Structure 1
Amino acid sequence: MKIGIVGATGYGGSDLLRLLHQHPKVSDITLYSSSQEGVHIHESYPHLTNIYEQVLQPIDIDKISQQVETVFLATPPGVSAEITEPLANKGLKVIDLSGDLRITDRGVYQNWYKRKAANQSIIDEAVYGLSEWNREKIAKASIIANPGCYPTATLLALAPLVKKRLIDLDTVIIDAKSGTSGAGRSPSEMTHYSEMNENFKAYQINQHKHTPEIEQELRQWDDDLPYVTFQPHLVPMVRGIMTTIYAKAKETMTEEFLRNLYKDTYANDHFVRLRPNGMYPSTKEVFGSNYCDIGITIDERTQRITIVSVIDNVVKGASGQAIQNLNIMNGWSEQEGLAFTPVYP
C-alpha cells in the first residue's frame, strides 16, 4: 500500500514514519508539510539520515490523490477539518490524528477547541478509532478519528466497568500525567527545559479539550454518565502517560471478581496487558511500544476501585493506534508493523 503522511515534521508524523518504514504491507511513503515543503526530512530529523531522506511535498489534494491510497493526518487542530472531506472525495482513506473529527457535536467541539468545526457530514462519516472497542466499525470505515492520548489510556481502563454499569459514575476521578512530547514539537514556556526540569505541574484545570471526548465515549456505554473529573499534569519526561483512576463500586465487589472481569474482557487483545495481582505498571514499561498496561485493585473496606493505566503517548496514544486501525481497515493482523517489545531501560 502507498501511504501519505500530512504533517510529517511533528512528533506524531515522525513516529508514523518510524513505524510504517518497517511495516510489511507498506510499499511507499510520501511526506507532506505546509511549513517545510522542499526540505529533506532528515534536515528536520537527523536520526533519519541514510534511512529516509525524502523531500517534503506541498499539501496539494490532487497530487496526493495520485500518489497514495491512505493518508494519515498528523496535523494541528483545524487542518483536518478543512482537508479531510476533499481527500475522501478523491477516494482516499483518511486516518486523522488530530481532534477535529472526534467530537460528534459541533457546538461542543467549538466550545472546547475554540475554532470552527468540520462539516457535520464528514464528522458523521468518521469512525472513532479506539481499536479494541470499535473493531467492527473500523473495519468498514473510510475515515478514522484516531483517539487522543489521554482518552486512550482512560477509556481502555474504564470500559469494562462502565459497560457493565458497575460503578457510581459521579465518583469517577481521572488523575493523569504526561510527558512533554504530548505538547508537540513547537517550543513553549510551559515545556521549556528551565520551566519543566525538576518540576511537576497541573495544567488546563477544568479546561482540557480531551474532557468532552472522554465523556462522549463513556456515554456510548452508559448514557447515565453526567460528567467526569479529568485533570492532566506534566511531568519532566519525554514520553508516557499514566492515568490513575478512582471510582466507587455500586455494589459490594471482591478483588477476584474485579480481576476476572478485566481478564475476560481483554483476553484476546494483544496490546492490552493486565498486571498480576498486587503489581502496577509504570510508563517506562511501555516506552516506544503500542501496549496499554493496566493494574487494578479495590479497597474492600471502602469499595473504591483504583485503576492504573499506562501508554506511550506518541505510540498507543497516536501513531501506533493509527497503524493498528490501518491494519483493521485492511483486514490485516493488528500486530503488523507493531510487533516489537518496549524499550527498556
Structure 2
Amino acid sequence: MAAAPPPAPRTALPPPNRGGLAFAQGRYGLRGNLELLLCDEEDGLWVLWFNNDPEDTAPEAGGPPPGAWSGALRFGTGRRYDEVQVVQSAHGPHHLEVLARSGAHTHRLRWNPETAFTTEEPPPTGRVRAASLTENPDATLWTAVLTDDGSPRLFRADTGAYPRLTWEQTPLPPLGPGAPGAVLLLPLPHAARPGLALLGTSGGSYLAPGGDETSLPAGLVAAAVVRETVPRLYVWNEAAERIDVVDIGAPAPYRRLRAPGEGPVTALAATTLDHAPHRTDLVLRRGGELWHVSDLGGEEPARSVPLLSRLTRTAGDEERPVHRTS
C-alpha cells in the first residue's frame, strides 16, 4: 500500500496589528532567520520568524518550511503598544533586545533562550513621542527619542553588567530648524556613535557621527539600514505613492521603489541579509495588509508577496492554533 501523502501546510494571516513594525536578521537557522515584531491591536506584541534556510533543508517539526513565515507568538501583554524596535544583540550572547513605546513611555524587553521574553528596566527617556534602538558593530547599544516637544535625545548604554544596562545621555550638535515626528538610528562601523535620521512631514535630515547634515525627503513612515558603510533610508512618499530610497553619500543617492498593495503605507521596517549582500528585505503595512518585499537594488524590480504564516502539519496537531499566546 502506498504511503499517505503528507498533509498540506496551513496558512493564516498575521494577527490583527497596528502601529510600528520591527524587523531584523537573527542568529538562528543555517543562515540567520528573520525576526518580525508587531504591535497587537489591543494588548501586547507578536513575534514571527522567517525560515531563511536553503530550500532543500528540512523544517523544524511544526515550523515553517524554508522561504516561509512562522505562526506568531504573543508576549509583553498588559499594555497597548504604538511602536516597536528590535535588534539582534551580540550580548547574552545573541539575545534579542526590544524597545517598545506605549503612549509616551518606553519599555525594554529581552529574549533569551532560557526564559524567553523578560521585562527589563527601560532607558531613562522620560515622556517621548517616538523612539529608536540600535546596536553598533562594536556591540554598543544606543537609544534615540523625540521628547514631548520634538527635541531629539541620544542615550548610550554601559553593558558591563548585561543584561542590566546603565544609560548615559550623549550630547548632540545643534540641529537645523524643523519639527521632526519620527527618529531612526543607523549602526555604523568605525564610528563613535550611530547615524541619526530625523523625519518630518515637510522634510527631514540625517546627522552623521561627525556632525554633517544631509537633507531627507518628507515622510514619517520610514526604515533604515546600513549597506557596508553607506546609510540607506526608505521613506514612504504618500503624495507620489512610492518609497523613496536614499543612499547617503553615494554617487547616485536617490531611487524609487514601488510599494505593493493599495492605500497609504502605515508602517515600514527593513533589514540587510548576511547571505545576500546586495538585497534588502522590507516588511510594510499597506491598506491593512502586510507585505514582504525584497529590494534587489539597481534597476531590478523588487519582489513582493503578501505576508502569510505557514506551518507544516504533523500527526495529531490539527487543532493546534497557528498563533499562540504562550
Normalised by the length of structure 1, the TM-score is 0.32
Normalised by the length of structure 2, the TM-score is 0.33
Higher helix share: 1
Higher strand share: 2
